[in-house]
Structure formats: C-alpha cells, structure tokens
C-alpha cells in the first residue's frame, strides 16, 4: 500500500518561504509524477506543480516564479518550496502521486494517492 | 491552459435520487479526465479516471462518461455518504481542476 507522509511548518510570516516534504513509502519512486496541490479555505483545488523521479519539473504558470520542487530518490522524498509567502497563500497543501495513463507521446496523469494535507497559515 | 467548467455549482437532491454532474473542457482532452470526491475536512478521493474507469474500491453507482470536451459523472442512487463536493481534473499542458459541484441534501 502506497503511503504519502507530509510535513513542514504550518505557520509562516509574510515574505517567508514555505518548505514542505512528502515521503513516499510502499512503492517505487520512479514512473510517476509527484505533485503538490493546494486548497484555500472554502475554495477549490489548485495545482502547484509536479516533479518526476529524474527531477524534471513543471509548475503552474501563476506560481512559477516562486516555486521550486525537488526529489531525493535515495530517501523517496520530494519537496516543495514556495517563496515570498503572503496571506493569499494560506491554504491546505497536499502532496499527491500522479499515475500516468496513455502512451509515450500522448498521456496525462491522475492523482490516485494523496497525503493527509498540511494546513499553512500566513500571518504577521 | 485548458479550463474545466463544472455545472451546476450546487445540486440539491434527496437520498435515492440520481445525480448528474457535468464537466466541460475549453478544448478537447480526449478521454484524459478524472473525477474526485471531497467531503468536508477530508482529502480528495479519486473516483473515476480515463473518463469512465472506476478507481479501486469505488461503488458501481458511480459512473463516468464522455470524451473530447463534455463529460458527465453520474451517481445512480445517492447514498447519505455521497453528499460532498466533486471535482474534475485534466492534465494537458498543465494540470487544472474544475471549480467543483457540491451535492447537498435537499
């Protein structure tokens, strides 16, 4: 059974950097997309970005200038950093596994396993 | 960016009734669409992938259909535990979710 365990600071001040880590257990790290999703209070889901086992990343264009994702394959971890946090970044942040469907040249992924979420509040 | 528009925003139904939720994409996504259920205070749960395939452990009363730009999630007979928010998702050149449909008890 695949489990995602996430952790990181839950209370930040404006301008600080969010750092979250997600540990993958029970499955190989390769062959998937590893993603971060957030949900502001009472709002919908927002994709932050993805990283694969090779460290290739792709970010939401609206957050791209502030986001860095990375992988640590030796420990089956992947991480998120989001700089210059503001109150608008207050949200629950989820890590999730992207399971690929399709062919080599025409594919997408869906999110079949999720972490429990980390509530992040930005306040002075 | 492909925009997913879900309708209606809220669906008020009684247990036992049929629920029909719509997700429309701003351009074709083929069959590359997934649906999720989220209950208050809980993590989203995958229901349907590839537009029509039920995820592991999902009851048969949930079904998905459609391709291209128009997709439907149907709950054939609502159980009390089905009242929740439902999201569709695609991953074309970037990943997007629809705005969600809340299925509430009438």
pLDDT confidence band for B45 (50 / 70 / 90): very high
pLDDT of residue A34: 96
Q: Does B92 score more than 90 pLDDT?
A: no
pLDDT of residue A32: 93
Q: Which of B49, B92, B96 sits opposite A110 (nearest CB)?
A: B49
Q: Does B38 score more than 90 pLDDT?
A: yes
Q: Which of B38, B87, B94 sits opposite A61 (nearest CB)?
A: B94
pLDDT of residue B31: 95
Do B55 and A116 count as a contact with CB atoms less than 8 A apart?
Answer: no
In Å, how far is B98's CA from the nearest CA of chain A?
8
Q: Does B18 score more than 90 pLDDT?
A: yes
pLDDT of residue B89: 98
Question: What is each CA distance from A75 to A72, A78, A116, B34, in whole angstroms?
Answer: 6, 9, 20, 30
pLDDT confidence band for B43 (50 / 70 / 90): very high
Q: Does B50 score more than 90 pLDDT?
A: yes
**What is the C-alpha separation between A79 and A57, in angstroms, rounded?**
11
Chain B residues in contact with A99 by the CB 8 A cut-off are 49
* B40-47 mean pLDDT: 97
**What is the C-alpha separation between A102 and A105, in angstroms, rounded?**
8
- Residues of chain A short of pLDDT 50, as ranges, are none
């Amino acid at each position: 059974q695949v489990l995602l365990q996430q952790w990181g600071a839950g209370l930040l001040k404006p301008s600080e950097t969010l750092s979250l880590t997600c540990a993958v257990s029970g499955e190989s790290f390769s062959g998937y997309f590893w993603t971060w999703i957030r949900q502001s209070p009472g709002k919908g889901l927002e994709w932050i970005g993805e990283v694969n086992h090779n460290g290739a990343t792709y970010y939401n264009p609206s957050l791209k200038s502030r986001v860095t994702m990375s992988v640590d394959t030796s420990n089956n971890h992947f991480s998120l950093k989001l700089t210059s946090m503001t109150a608008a970044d207050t949200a629950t942040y989820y890590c999730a596994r992207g399971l690929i469907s399709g062919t080599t040249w025409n594919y997408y992924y869906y999110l079949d396993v999720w972490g429990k979420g980390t509530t992040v509040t930005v306040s002075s | 960016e492909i925009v997913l528009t879900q309708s209606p925003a809220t669906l008020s139904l009684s247990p036992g009734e049929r629920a029909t939720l719509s997700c429309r994409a701003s351009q074709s996504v083929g069959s590359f669409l997934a649906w999720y259920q989220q209950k208050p205070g809980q993590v989203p749960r995958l229901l349907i992938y590839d537009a029509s395939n039920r995820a592991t452990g999902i009851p048969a009363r949930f079904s998905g259909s459609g391709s291209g730009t128009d997709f439907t999630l149907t709950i054939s007979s609502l159980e009390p535990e089905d009242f929740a928010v439902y999201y569709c998702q695609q991953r074309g050149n970037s990943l997007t979710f629809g705005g969600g449909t809340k299925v509430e008890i009438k």
